[in-house]
Amino acid sequence: MTEHSFPISILVTGASGQLGSELKDLSKSFPDFKFIFAGKQELSIINKDAIQKFFDTHKIDFCINCAAYTAVDKAESEKEKAYLINDTAVGHLAAICSSHKTKLIHISTDYVYDGSEKQPLKESDKKGPLNVYGESKLMGEKSALSKNPETLIIRTSWVYSYYGHNFVKTMIRLLKEKKELNVVNDQIGSPTNAADLAFVIMQIIKMHLEGKKINGILNYSNTGETSWFQFAQFIKEQTGSQCEIHPVTTAQYATPATRPEYSVLDTTLIKSLTGIKIPFWKDSASACIHRLIKD
């Protein structure tokens, strides 16, 4: 049984990004739900008054917060902006969701971990962000849960999609343009197709409506692990590019933000709570790559 009145309405903030766009595609499979997709132009999460007014004038049962400051390197020089979007605004949004009895589903990152572990990271494992982006996201998790303990936070990693800007799209372009490329081989993680993440979010919403509520933090990525170099090699194989890719170390490839060496997420908890079968990263990546090269 549910305490919600129909139709169930779902607000997606940051709707023009990768995850927001995948949710928009997936929403076509849920004709009984009323989706409201709001990009930054329509509803900026840093505008507390606008968010308050929006919730006062619309019935929102679920809010999926896809809005984030995601420019990992730029965040090092735009600290205030990163904290404002990824922490302060998330805290306000969580409080407003709490006062309107809206279930908040917020997305966080593998970059909350310090990368020193060598086995898949559980939700409760030690945190220790190495960069401003990761720190701002960790603070956002804490703000959301303190303002609204019923928030569900899903940490994910290495997100790509048919939409937006991401490693897969950049590699497809560079593999076409260049004869040689250097790609980092000593950072290990699990790529995540945003379409798969969108799918699990909708499963969780369906479960919630059936009375199976999940709060707190869950880790989600596609299964398996890889390095950026191996990921690039896989994209090369799939596209048939002749470009030569050289593995390099993080030390040889300086970036403003430090990244964790190892950030593979342990997805045991989300699998046991939802019963979903998570696709292997190569299967999901292959589907996205072939869709992209067909265009």
Ligand X SMILES: NC(=O)c1ccc[n+]([C@@H]2O[C@H](COP(=O)([O-])OP(=O)(O)OC[C@H]3O[C@@H](n4cnc5c(N)ncnc54)[C@H](OP(=O)(O)O)[C@@H]3O)[C@@H](O)[C@H]2O)c1
222 binds ligand X (CB under 6 A): no
Residue 7: asked if its preceding bond is cis (omega within 30°), the reply is yes
Residue 168 makes contact with ligand X by CB under 6 A: no
Q: Is 136 in the site for ligand X (CB under 6 A)?
A: no
DSSP category for residue 31: T
Rounded to 10 degrees, the C-alpha dihedral 44/48/51/56 comes to -170
Residue 4 or 48 with smaller CB distance to ligand X: 48
Min CB(260)–ligand X separation in Å: 12
First to last CA, the chain: 44
Closest Cα partner for 106 from 120, 122, 129, 89? 89
Residues with Cβ within 8 Å of residue 68, at least 6 apart in sequence: 14, 17, 85, 86, 107, 137
> Any contact of residue 220 with ligand X (CB under 6 A)?
no
Query: Is 40 a residue that touches ligand X (CB under 6 A)?
Result: yes
**19 binds ligand X, rule: CB under 6 A:** yes
From the list 10-18, 91-99, 115-123, 238-246, the region that binds ligand X by CB under 6 A is 10-18
Residues 83-112 that bind ligand X (CB under 6 A): 85, 107, 109-110
Our CB check for ligand X shows the closer of 209 and 217 to be: 217
The Cα 241–Cα 180 span in angstroms is 11
* Interaction of residue 67 with ligand X, rule CB under 6 A: yes
Of 10, 11, 14, 33, which lies in the binding site for ligand X, with binding defined by CB under 6 A? 14
Would you count residue 257 as binding ligand X (CB under 6 A)? no
Part in contact with ligand X (CB under 6 A); list of ranges 63-71, 177-185, 273-281, 282-290: 63-71
For ligand X, which is the closer residue by CB, 147 or 209? 147
Asked if 68 is part of the footprint of ligand X (rule: CB under 6 A), the reply reads yes
- Taking residue 134's Cβ as centre, other Cβ atoms within 10 Å add up to 29
Of 172, 179, 178, 174, which Cα lies nearest the Cα of 291?
172
Q: Report if residue 189 touches ligand X, rule: CB under 6 A.
A: no
Distances (CA, A) of 142 to 31, 135, 145, 179, 217: 34, 11, 5, 45, 10
Q: Which residues bind ligand X (CB under 6 A)?
A: 13-14, 16-19, 40, 44-46, 66-70, 85, 107, 109-110, 137, 156-159, 164, 194
